[in-house]
Amino acid sequence: MNADESGESGESWVCTGCIGEAFLRSSIEKEGTRQTCHYCAEAHPCFSLEAVSDLTEKAIEAHFYRTPPEPNEMDYARLRHTDYNWYRDGEEIVQLIEDLLQTRRKIADDIQQLLEYRHSDFDSDVMGQETEFARESCYAERKQVSTGRLDSMWTNFVTSLKTESRFINNAVNFTLDGIFQGVETMHASGKVPVIMAAGPGTAIPSLYRARWSRNPAELDRMLVTPDKELGPPPPQFSGANRMSARGISVFYGASSVDTAISEIRPPVGCNVVCAKFSLIRPLRLLNLPALESVLESGSLLDPEYIKRREQAAFLSTLTRRIVDPVLPGEEDFSYIPTQVIAEYLADPARFNLDGILYPSVQLPGTGQEARYNVVLFHKASRVRYMTLPAEKDCMIRYVQQYDEDEWEPDICVTEVISSQDTRVPEADGDEIKDISLPDDRRMPSLEIDLDSVSVHGIRAARFEYSTDSVRRSTYHYTPRVSEPAGSGAPSWNFASGQDDFPF
């Protein structure tokens, strides 16, 4: 379309020279049509005024809100009884458009008139109600980004998994793509990495793992071969957990001994065996706590920035959605969404991740930054087993006598070797063959530190809780027996000082 045709069609054009905002100016230069600008009368790449208005409308709706045109009840009370002066919050719409586009006043005026015409209606005009983009309207920047679209997708995702289909479900990829797309390129405040390194020479060189014993025989097995007994269970013994479905063997570790013990919720009176597992190769973890402070920068006029900002706002709430405590007995049902998320993130075709770091559920509060859990996906959860003697060749001592009638704890695992025993120790004992996959080609990621193995007797449990008192009251009323049934008036006689709700 040439300039003459544009004039005949009545289309108004805005050129790069009349727009100062960097993103919009660049978009006009790349995608615009060379026309004669309606405002400066020069031939440059141009967008139509309609197109510029569309981008402006989307930007204002995404990043600003229209402030109330009248004082609220509290403000009216202050106006009546004090010297308070009320002023409407926000910036006038024309000035906002001028600042947003970094353009001249005439262009801002024309865009405001076009947008006001789009949103006005006859009824509002008759009643004198202000509509969006009205000349007198004012707008203020949103303090919180709306996540309504992703919230709705998440709700449908959870409901669909729990009540409709779990194995072939189109809602899964659609929702999770919208939530996690581009997460590996995001940045959090304080230079906290969203994708963090774990392993040798990193801030996470090792993880702690704990398991409580049900009887003395089980405790003996843990002490003799802790690498196998504390490592990930074999598939046939892998139960449903927060980040793994039944039958999927993964490694759950914690940042400290107390975190590892608290996460398994051992019963009072049992013994817990805990050990440190060193990470022997570099791993990549999704840092869920970092998602709470993801930063996104860009132009307010960029539609992609609007989506990224919404995504970042939703991701800031994702940790709470994933690590919400689950009541005993509800794990199989409540863990379904988080299990699906873990399998989605473990897919090598999407992300090159080995696991997820998430905050401790059982030890919130002070020191939260040092208390975290890590789940290593199946591909990164193999333990390098050590050459340890079989249980039948070991003697375990739990106490030692240091005085005639005095004993003290002293746990020691002693290998008993007979001088007549000429057998060559095998690298893989019977226990290893029982729990290892026959054709496991995964690269080992973990190795136990034998010197870190410890036994903890659980003597008591302490809880943090909130307290709300329960009041009791009495409500008296007189039934109106003279009124016919269904008269419509309630039979309550509300007296001054009584509750509004009788029940």
| pLDDT given at position 483 | 54
| pLDDT given at position 174 | 85
CA–CA separation, 197 vs 150, rounded Å?
29
Q: What are phi and psi of 213, to 5 degrees?
A: -95, 145
Calculate the CA 474 to chain-centre distance.
45
| pLDDT given at position 22 | 93
| pLDDT given at position 54 | 94
pTM: 0.71
| Biggest distance spanned by C-alpha atoms of the chain | 113
Calculate the CA 196 to chain-centre distance.
16
Q: Give a three-class secondary structure readout of 278-302.
A: EECCCEEEEEHHHHHHEECCCCCCC
Which amino acid, 12?
S
Tell which residue, 77, 26, 33, 24, has the closest CA to residue 55.
24
Q: What are phi and psi of 254, to 5 degrees?
A: -135, 165
Q: Give a three-class secondary structure readout of 22-90.
A: HHHHHHHHHHCEEEECCCCCCEEEEEEHHHHHHHHHHHHHHHEEECCCCCCHHHHHHHHHCCCCCCCCC
Beta bridge partners of 193: 187
CA–CA separation, 481 vs 4, rounded Å?
85
User: What is the torsion angle, in degrees rounded to the nearest 10, for the CA atoms of residue 220, residue 223, residue 228 and residue 234?
Assistant: 40
CA–CA separation, 195 vs 356, rounded Å?
9
Stretches in the chain below the pLDDT threshold 50? 1-8, 367-368, 427-435, 491-503
